[in-house]
């Protein structure tokens, strides 16, 4: 693995076609649901490491230990899947994963009859799963009910929803407090419905009826989170630049399609063409931006870097979940933006201000903190000057061909990244 990669842009307009990976979020949900359904053909699965890992782990159901590595969806979804299917095994992950809380999900699963022990620190992986005490199917009940905080990772809620149809009385989840990343919850419900589940979103209440999933085929859409980095490149490129992105739907289940409206304010116009293809064109940006990222936290790094680089004052809210991602993304952004003359300032009450009046790209080295989104959010700055990114292979988590796609549209990488399979 290369320890660093220097990225440069020669001169001139940016143009061409970039291939984005299939949606990791859709892929990992579809894999869990297919396992619960007992079959179905999944087409265009993501080549991201998280999805490849999920496939490998699901293919070995009798494994004594499941290693989720650094994959949040794999850890959360497998915890619910293994617990509710009565597996007796251990579930672990990287050192960073063992710092990411899972107590809210584990507590909810224990209410549903799962027997779970913490092997090290209470409330955190690794876990020992000791099977499940089934609920009696004959007991009179409308739904099995849970109360779950809405201000924690939506992956907890999605994990519970997906196992809901397997419960004798289904599941009714009452969401308490502010609900974050709701589009991911809607995506989960839509995929469940595609596989035959009866479920609905009633706002603060989510309902799933007891009914076996149906083995069904599904084709995964391109990833809007990955598309956001190409939006960033067009925003920072010279006037007249344009890019084409295939496999992205106008009517998408993915919350990160919000990048269309956000980047319109930062100078990128989106035109939807036929055959699930869109065209991005450079335009003049607005003078300022205010954005709530509650429903699209994975876009925050991309937008912060572009806003700072363009010197556009930007107010950001809804960043609470960034503290418990692959790294503390708020601290990482603050550290790395400062190297270029930018800043992300905590104004209190959940409000952050981006500034970049003295922003300059001149060969700085960006630390990536074992976080794929840090690498890809800062890479577009190469359009403004050379920069070096540490641990470039971290992109394998969600976008293994990212550096190759940059080379195809004219970026120069040194050294050439090793192939990622």
Q: List, for residues 206-240, the tens digit of each pLDDT value.
A: 999 999 999 999 999 999 999 999 999 999 999 99
Strand partners of residue 5 = 389
Residue listed under structure tokens 């630390």: 367
For 254, left (φ over 0), alpha (ψ -120 to 50), or beta?
beta
DSSP string, 335-358: HHHHTTT-EEEEEETTEEEEE-TT
What is the pLDDT at residue 353?
98
CB–CB of 118/110 below 8 Å?
A: no
What is the pLDDT at residue 421?
45
Please determine, for residue 2, whether its predicted confidence score (pLDDT) is greater than 60. Answer: no
Domain boundaries, the chain: 4-21+222-414, 24-219
Q: Who contacts 320 (Cβ-Cβ below 8 Å, separation ≥6)?
A: 151, 180, 350
- DSSP tag of 22: B
Query: Residue 279: which pLDDT band, with cuts at 50, 70 and 90?
Result: very high
In 122-267, DSSP assigns E strands to 127-132, 144-149, 171-176, 199-201, 205-208, 218-219, 242-246
Q: What is the mean pLDDT of residues 159-173?
A: 96
Q: Packing angle between helix 24-37 and helix 154-163, nearest 10 degrees?
A: 20
The model's pLDDT over 44-101, given as tens digits with 9 standing for 90+, comes to: 999 999 999 999 999 998 899 999 999 999 999 999 999 999 999 999 999 999 999 9
Please determine, for residue 416, whether its predicted confidence score (pLDDT) is greater than 80. Answer: no
- Percent of the chain predicted with pLDDT > 90: 87
Is 151 part of the annotated catalytic residue set?
Answer: no
As a dihedral over the C-alpha atoms of residue 171, residue 177, residue 183, residue 187, rounded to 10 degrees, the angle is -10
Annotated binding site for 3-phosphoshikimate: 24-25, 29, 153-155, 181, 298, 325
More confident residue, 3 or 389: 389
Q: Which CATH number applies to 24-219?
A: 3.65.10.10
Average pLDDT over the chain reads 94
Q: What is the mean pLDDT of residues 358-387?
A: 97
Residue 352 has, within 13 A of its CA and on its CB side, a CA count of 25
Residue 312 has, within 13 A of its CA and on its CB side, a CA count of 25
Please determine, for residue 419, whether its predicted confidence score (pLDDT) is greater than 70. Answer: no
- Pinpoint the alpha helices (H) of 266-328: 300-310
365 to 278, 301, 378: CA distances (angstroms): 32, 17, 10
Annotated binding site: 24-25, 29, 72, 100, 153-155, 181, 298, 325, 329, 373, 397
What is the pLDDT at residue 139?
57
CB–CB of 111/143 below 8 Å?
A: no
Q: Do domains 4-21+222-414 and 24-219 have the same CATH topology?
A: yes
Answer whether CATH 3.10.20.30 is correct for domain 4-21+222-414.
no
Prior bond to 415 cis, omega within 30? yes
The C-alpha atoms of residue 49 and residue 315 are separated, in whole angstroms, by: 33
Q: What is the mean pLDDT of residues 268-274?
A: 94
- DSSP tag of 256: G
Please determine, for residue 10, whether its predicted confidence score (pLDDT) is greater than 90. Answer: no
Which candidate in 47, 295, 298, 371 is catalytic?
Answer: 298
Query: Residue 313: which pLDDT band, with cuts at 50, 70 and 90?
Result: very high
For 89, left (φ over 0), alpha (ψ -120 to 50), or beta?
beta
Query: Residue 141: which pLDDT band, with cuts at 50, 70 and 90?
Result: low
What is the pLDDT at residue 140?
60
The C-alpha atoms of residue 109 and residue 116 are separated, in whole angstroms, by: 8
Angle at 164 between CA 160 and CA 167, to 5 degrees: 125
What is the pLDDT at residue 1?
47
Number of Cβ within 10 Å of residue 361's Cβ equals 18
What is the pLDDT at residue 418?
67
What is the model's pTM? 0.87
């Amino acid at each position: 693995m290369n320890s660093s990669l220097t990225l440069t842009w020669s001169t001139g307009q940016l143009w061409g076609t970039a291939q984005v990976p299939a949606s990791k979020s859709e892929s990992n949900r579809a894999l869990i649901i297919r396992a619960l359904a007992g079959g179905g053909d999944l087409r265009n699965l993501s080549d991201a490491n998280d999805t490849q890992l999920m496939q490998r782990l699901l293919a070995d159901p009798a494994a004594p230990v499941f290693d989720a590595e650094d994959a949040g969806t794999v850890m959360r979804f497998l915890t619910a899947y293994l617990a509710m299917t009565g597996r007796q095994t251990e579930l672990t992950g990287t050192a960073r994963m063992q710092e990411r809380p899972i107590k809210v999900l584990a507590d909810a699963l224990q209410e549903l009859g799962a027997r779970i022990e913490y092997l090290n620190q209470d409330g955190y992986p690794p876990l020992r799963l000791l099977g499940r005490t089934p609920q009696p199917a004959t007991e009179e009940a409308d739904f099995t009910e849970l109360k779950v905080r809405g201000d924690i990772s939506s992956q907890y809620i999605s994990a519970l929803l997906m196992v809901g149809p397997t419960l004798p009385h289904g599941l009714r989840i009452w969401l308490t407090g502010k609900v974050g990343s709701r589009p991911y919850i809607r995506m989960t419900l839509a995929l469940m419905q595609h596989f035959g589940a009866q479920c609905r979103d009633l706002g603060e209440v989510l309902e799933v009826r007891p009914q076996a999933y149906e083995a069904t085929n599904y084709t995964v859409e391109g990833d809007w989170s990955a598309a956001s980095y190409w939006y960033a490149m067009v925003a920072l490129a010279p006037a007249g630049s344009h890019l084409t992105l295939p496999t992205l739907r106008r009517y998408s289940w993915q919350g990160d399609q919000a990048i269309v409206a956000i980047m319109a304010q930062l100078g990128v116009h989106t035109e939807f063409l036929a055959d699930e293809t869109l065209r991005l064109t450079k335009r003049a940006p607005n003078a300022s931006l205010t954005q709530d990222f509650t429903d699209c936290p994975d876009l925050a790094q991309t937008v912060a870097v572009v806003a700072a680089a363009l010197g556009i004052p930007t107010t950001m809210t809804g960043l609470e979940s960034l503290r418990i991602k692959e790294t503390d993304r708020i601290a990482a952004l603050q550290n790395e933006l400062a190297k270029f003359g930018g800043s992300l300032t905590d104004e209190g009450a959940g409000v952050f201000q981006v500034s970049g009046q003295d922003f300059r790209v001149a060969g700085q080295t960006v630390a990536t903190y074992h976080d794929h989104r840090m690498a890809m959010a800062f890479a577009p700055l190469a359009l403004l000057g050379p920069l070096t990114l540490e641990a470039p292979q971290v992109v394998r988590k969600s976008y293994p061909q990212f550096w190759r796609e940059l080379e195809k549209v004219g970026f120069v990488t040194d050294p050439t990244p090793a192939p990622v399979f």
